């Protein structure tokens, strides 16, 4: 239990007592009551707004209530002092012993320091990546992949059951194009000279697929009409693409639990089931869409389509679930897919590129309809990443097939750098990824800065050994003011993890680690001005041992934080 959680419980007990004493009426809503570190450290270690938010419903004034609460809180052994400030804040200062013992807790819990059960075992399905199976992964997919994966890890750490899922879009027109492109490469593998026409995928990665297909089928389908091979080639080419994609994901350290196929979903009749249910509830009807506002497409004509009443759930327009040729729209299938996911999870999260922002409302409407409002469902939009090389945008053309692949980037800068960097911005803010900057060894680069702190800590252990200092058991009472400051920041880690999990914002971990690293570097550098402030003091094994203990604690937190981000901690820099 984190220190903050513990004090929330303490405060709760105090409020119970005040209720029993008749100072507070029973049944007050305590939800707005918070226990947090104050922004300004001079206000103490913890602050609560309890008196302010409860005074009004209790029919008393904040100061009087605060006094009653303070009186009880002062009785706690962990509290050094409690005071009332401003409009009714209660500020607590904890004893040094309390903080020092938190350091012992950290050492004791190790890799689990920061783990919590706030998720209460609720199952969350996180669907991320879901790149079309028509080619290798490129950098456009990267950020969503990392954010989704880190979020999944974070939720697990916070006590959720997590299903990591990938939706294979293998039923649309683009996989026909893939099949035709693969067939062309197949003919090429059989010795034919080919030219790639406009509209087919030109990428080199299909050469291998063509060769594989040649091994699979010999020349059986070389000159056959499309109708004889299209379905088969589609299926086989998608399989090969998924092997490629899994490999790419593996390079980023990402492994999904479930891969769901859109084609299989349709073959199993899931969209039909969803449609039938929705029709029975008058949520699907046959109708004609209004002409789109703004510029009218050339080929627009009114047609009757089965429409889902997404307007009933806040969308601007009802949405077709089938095309005029009778096949399912992407939305029609996706709707059924989300319904299927909701069968095995309490909550759903989709990680999407921001270019799909326009379709969020309809899928949320569909989930609300099909689960009758029971499943929490969030769509997290991931903004674009601009690739730069020394400040200049990297030119890419998907049509020419020369997009920057994820594998190339991982190869160039490394998995850990890619993952960390992708988490140094809030997901819904655009970001730049500069090949030069992300590997720069300077404090401008948080990836490096955090790793450097960890490397320094690791070096301390080695140094102490080399110096041959015989270390006694650490005596935490030797740690002074500067060390306590570091401990207080370290003790916030569990709170940061909880906050990141609740708001589903994994980037908070990266920012916290940067702050922690900064505090550590500052502490370390005190040793430059004052040699007595160094960690390793050959003539003072007791102090050395205590400071090493603290350093290791900081190192532990950096490792825990990095682990949540899927990044390995470095023990030395090269």
| Interactions with RNA, residue window 388-447 (CB under 7 A) | 425-426, 428-432, 441-444
Find the shortest distance in angstroms from Cβ 154 to RNA. Answer: 13
One residue of 87, 218, 250, 480 binding RNA per CB under 7 A: 87
One residue of 94, 305, 410, 486 binding RNA per CB under 7 A: 305
Site for RNA in 168-227 (CB under 7 A): 169, 171-174
By DSSP bridging, strand 347-353 and strand 376-382 are parallel
One residue of 6, 359, 368, 542 binding RNA per CB under 7 A: 359
355 binding RNA? (CB under 7 A): yes
Rounded Cα distance, 179 and 169, in Å: 14
Q: Among the candidate windows 105-113, 226-234, 288-296, 388-396, which touches RNA by CB under 7 A?
A: 288-296
Q: Closest CB to RNA among 190 and 568?
A: 568
Q: Closest CB to RNA among 189 and 517?
A: 517
Contacts of residues 104-109 at CB distance under 8 Å and 24 or more positions apart, as own/partner, are 104/476, 106/490, 106/491, 106/553, 106/556, 106/557, 107/549, 107/552, 107/553, 107/556
Asked if 383 and 433 count as a contact pair (C-beta separation under 8 A), the reply is no
Question: In a 3-state reduction of DSSP, which class is residue 298?
Answer: coil
Q: Closest CB to RNA among 400 and 482?
A: 482
Site for RNA in 102-161 (CB under 7 A): 132
Find the shortest distance in angstroms from Cβ 51 to RNA. Answer: 9
How many residues in the chain?
Answer: 574
292 binding RNA? (CB under 7 A): yes
The closest of 499, 151, 562, 119 to 352, measured between CA atoms, is 151
How many residues bind to RNA according to rule CB under 7 A?
A: 100
One residue of 499, 504, 542, 563 binding RNA per CB under 7 A: 499
Find the shortest distance in angstroms from Cβ 190 to RNA. Answer: 29
86 binding RNA? (CB under 7 A): yes
**DSSP conformation class of 328:** B
One residue of 59, 199, 294, 468 binding RNA per CB under 7 A: 294
Find the shortest distance in angstroms from Cβ 218 to RNA. Answer: 31
Report the half-sphere exposure of 161 (CA within 13 A, side-chain side).
7
Find the shortest distance in angstroms from Cβ 187 to RNA. Answer: 25
Write the DSSP string, 186-198: HHHHTT------T
Q: Closest CB to RNA among 220 and 430?
A: 430
Q: Closest CB to RNA among 192 and 466?
A: 466
Find the shortest distance in angstroms from Cβ 167 to RNA. Answer: 9
Q: Among the candidate windows 6-14, 414-422, 454-462, 561-569, which touches RNA by CB under 7 A?
A: 454-462
Find the shortest distance in angstroms from Cβ 130 to RNA. Answer: 9
The side-by-side arrangement of strands in the sheet containing 385-389 is 392-393, 385-389, 431-434
323 burial type by CB count under 10 A (0-12 exposed, 13-18 middle, 19+ buried): middle
Site for RNA in 529-568 (CB under 7 A): 529, 533-536
Q: Closest CB to RNA among 190 and 354?
A: 354
Rounded Cα distance, 149 and 143, in Å: 10
One residue of 313, 518, 541, 568 binding RNA per CB under 7 A: 518
Find the shortest distance in angstroms from Cβ 462 to RNA. Answer: 8
Q: Closest CB to RNA among 80 and 190?
A: 80
Q: Closest CB to RNA among 162 and 178?
A: 178
Q: Which residues of 220-245 are buried (b: 16+ CB within 10 A; e: fewer)?
A: ebbeeeeeebbebbbebbbebbbebb
- Evaluated on CA atoms 466, 470, 476, 480, the torsion sign reads negative
Q: Closest CB to RNA among 222 and 504?
A: 504
Q: Closest CB to RNA among 20 and 441?
A: 441
85 binding RNA? (CB under 7 A): yes
Rounded Cα distance, 375 and 371, in Å: 6
Rounded Cα distance, 46 and 34, in Å: 10
Find the shortest distance in angstroms from Cβ 33 to RNA. Answer: 9
The closest of 397, 334, 21 to 171, measured between CA atoms, is 334
323 binding RNA? (CB under 7 A): yes
Find the shortest distance in angstroms from Cβ 212 to RNA. Answer: 23
Find the shortest distance in angstroms from Cβ 427 to RNA. Answer: 8
**What phi and psi, each to the nearest 5 degrees, are found at residue 182?**
-70, -35
Rounded Cα distance, 150 and 322, in Å: 35
Q: Closest CB to RNA among 84 and 196?
A: 84
Q: Closest CB to RNA among 122 and 533?
A: 533
325 binding RNA? (CB under 7 A): yes
Find the shortest distance in angstroms from Cβ 157 to RNA. Answer: 15
Find the shortest distance in angstroms from Cβ 211 to RNA. Answer: 26
Find the shortest distance in angstroms from Cβ 222 to RNA. Answer: 28
Q: Closest CB to RNA among 161 and 323?
A: 323
Rounded Cα distance, 51 and 69, in Å: 8
Rounded Cα distance, 457 and 480, in Å: 19
Asked if 114 and 460 count as a contact pair (C-beta separation under 8 A), the reply is no
- Quick one: CA torsion of 479, 483, 488, 489, rounded to 10 degrees? -150
Site for RNA in 18-37 (CB under 7 A): 32, 34
**What phi and psi, each to the nearest 5 degrees, are found at residue 290?**
-70, 155
Q: Closest CB to RNA among 221 and 420?
A: 420
**What phi and psi, each to the nearest 5 degrees, are found at residue 109?**
-80, -25
Site for RNA in 34-73 (CB under 7 A): 34, 38-40, 42-44, 47, 49, 52-53, 56
H-run or E-run covering 385? strand 385-389
Q: Which residues of 548-566 are buried (b: 16+ CB within 10 A; e: fewer)?
A: bbbbbbbbbbbbbbbbbbb
472 binding RNA? (CB under 7 A): no
């Amino acid at each position: 239990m984190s220190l903050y959680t513990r004090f929330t419980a303490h405060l709760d007990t105090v409020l119970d007592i005040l209720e029993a004493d008749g100072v507070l009426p029973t049944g007050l809503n305590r939800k707005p009551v918070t226990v947090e570190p104050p922004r300004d450290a001079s206000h103490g270690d913890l602050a609560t707004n309890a008196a302010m938010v409860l005074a009004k419903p209790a029919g008393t004034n904040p100061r009087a209530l605060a006094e009653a609460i303070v009186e009880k809180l002062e009785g706690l052994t962990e509290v050094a002092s409690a005071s009332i400030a401003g409009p009714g804040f209660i500020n607590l200062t904890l004893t040094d012993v309390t903080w020092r013992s938190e350091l012992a807790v950290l050492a004791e819990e190790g890799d689990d320091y920061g783990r919590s059960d706030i998720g209460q075992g609720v199952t969350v399905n996180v669907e991320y990546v879901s790149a079309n199976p028509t080619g290798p992964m490129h950098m456009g997919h990267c950020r969503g992949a990392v954010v989704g994966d880190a979020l999944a890890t974070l939720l697990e750490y916070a006590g959720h059951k997590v299903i990591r899922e990938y939706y294979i879009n293998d039923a649309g027109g683009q996989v026909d194009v893939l099949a035709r492109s693969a067939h062309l490469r197949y003919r090429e593998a059989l010795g034919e000279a080919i030219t790639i026409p406009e509209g087919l995928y030109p990428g080199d990665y299909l050469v291998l697929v063509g060769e594989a297909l040649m091994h699979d089928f010999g020349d059986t389908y070389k000159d056959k009409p499309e109708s004889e091979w299209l379905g088969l080639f589609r299926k086989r080419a998608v399989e090969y693409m998924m092997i490629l994609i899994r490999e790419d994901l593996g390079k980023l350290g990402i492994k999904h639990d479930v891969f769901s196929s859109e084609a299989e979903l349709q073959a199993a009749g899931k969209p039909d089931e969803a449609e039938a249910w929705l029709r029975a509830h008058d949520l699907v009807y046959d109708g004609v869409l209004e002409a789109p506002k703004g510029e009218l497409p050339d080929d627009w004509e009114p047609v009757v389509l089965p429409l889902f009443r997404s307007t009933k759930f806040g969308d601007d327009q009802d949405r077709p679930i089938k095309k005029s040729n009778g096949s399912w729209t992407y939305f029609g299938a996706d709707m059924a897919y989300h319904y299927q996911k909701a069968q095995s999870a309490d909550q759903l999260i989709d990680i999407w590129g921001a270019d799909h922002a326009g379709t969020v409302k309809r899928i949320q409407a569909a989930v609300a309809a099909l689960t009758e409002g029971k499943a929490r469902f969030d769509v997290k939009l991931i903004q674009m990443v601009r690739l730069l090389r020394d400040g200049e945008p990297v030119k890419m053309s998907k049509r020419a097939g020369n997009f920057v692949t994820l594998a190339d980037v991982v190869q160039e800068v490394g998995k850990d750098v890619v993952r960390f960097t992708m988490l140094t911005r809030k997901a819904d803010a655009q970001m730049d990824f500069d090949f030069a900057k992300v590997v720069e060894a300077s404090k401008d680069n948080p990836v490096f800065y955090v790793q450097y702190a960890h490397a320094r800590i690791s070096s301390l252990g080695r140094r102490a050994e080399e110096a041959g200092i015989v270390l006694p058991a650490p005596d935490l009472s030797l740690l002074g003011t500067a060390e306590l400051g570091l401990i207080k920041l370290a003790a916030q880690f569990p709170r940061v993890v909880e906050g990141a999990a609740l708001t589903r914002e994994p980037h908070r971990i990266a920012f916290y680690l940067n702050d922690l690293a900064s505090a550590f570097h500052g502490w370390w550098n005190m040793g430059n001005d004052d040699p007595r402030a160094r960690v390793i003091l050959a003539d003072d094994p007791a102090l050395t041992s205590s400071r090493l203990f603290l350093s290791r604690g900081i190192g532990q937190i950096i490792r825990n934080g990095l682990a949540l981000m899927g990044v390995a901690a470095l023990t030395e820099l090269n």
